[in-house]
Amino acid sequence: MVETQRLWFRKYTIDDLEFLLKMTSNKEIMKYIGTGITWNENETKERLNRFMSWYDSVDDIGLMVAVNKNSGEPVGHAGLVPQTIEGKQEIEIGYWIDQEYWGQGFATEAAIAWKEYGFNKLYKKRLVSIIQLGNIPSIQVAQKNGMTFEREVDFNSKNVGLYSISRSIL
C-alpha cells in the first residue's frame, strides 16, 4: 500500500470510529467539509461504513487512515476517491488532517503520495481535488502537489474549486 517518509496508510475498520468522530465533531476541521456542519456519532458511523464499502467495490481506492510511523497514532486520512463532477467521472485526491497535526506538512506529504500512487500504480491520466472556496490551506496543499485551479464547479449543491493535474506523457 501507500507510505511516505513519516506516514503509512491502512484501510478504515469499525475500530476507527472514535478517531473519525474526533475529526467529524471538530468545527474547525468540518468547516470546509460537506455542508460545513459537524457530524454526530450516527452520521459519522454512516460515513465510516461508506468509506469501508469503497474497499469492496473499487480496488485500492478510498480514504485510508494516515498513521504516523513514529508514534503509531492516526493523524488523519487521505486517499483516492471516485467522484462525479458535472456528470463526468473523476478521481479525487482527498485529505483531512486532525487539527492537532495541522501545520506539520502531513496533508502535503499524503497528497503527493496519493498522486504518485494514482499515476504510477493505477495509471490514471488525471487527478483532481475538490476544494471549497476560501479553504486556503487545502488550496496550498493542492498547489504544492502540482495542481492548478481549473474552474469553479457545482458539487453537491455547493460552488467549489476544481483543482487538477494530468499525467505527463513522455
Tell me the pairing of strands 88-97 and 148-155.
Answer: unpaired
What pLDDT does 58 receive? 66
Region 119-141: mean pLDDT is 95
Cα 32–Cα 144–Cα 97 angle in degrees, nearest 5: 40
> Exposed e or buried b for every residue in 130-164, given b needs 16+ CB within 10 A?
bbbeebeebbebbeebebeeeeeeebeeeebbbbb
What pLDDT does 169 receive? 60
pTM to 2 decimals?
0.93
What pLDDT does 59 receive? 64
**Does residue 153 contact residue 85 with C-beta atoms inside 8 Å?**
yes
Note the pLDDT tens digit of each residue in 1-52: 799 999 999 999 999 999 999 999 999 999 999 889 999 999 999 999 999 9
Q: What grid cell was written down for 2?
A: 501507500
Which among 124, 160, 58 is positioned nearest to 50, based on CA atoms? 58
Note the pLDDT tens digit of each residue in 136-164: 999 999 999 999 999 999 998 889 999 99
Note the pLDDT tens digit of each residue in 65-92: 999 999 999 999 999 999 999 999 999 9
Region 89-109: mean pLDDT is 96
CB count in 10 Å sphere of residue 73? 12
Region 50-58: mean pLDDT is 82
| Fold held by 7-166 | Aminopeptidase (3.40.630)
Q: What grid cell was written down for 75?
A: 493523524
Q: How confident is the model at residue 107 (pLDDT cuts 50, 70, 90)?
A: very high
**Does residue 23 contact residue 78 with C-beta atoms inside 8 Å?**
no
**Does residue 76 contact residue 67 with C-beta atoms inside 8 Å?**
no
Rg (CA), the chain: 15
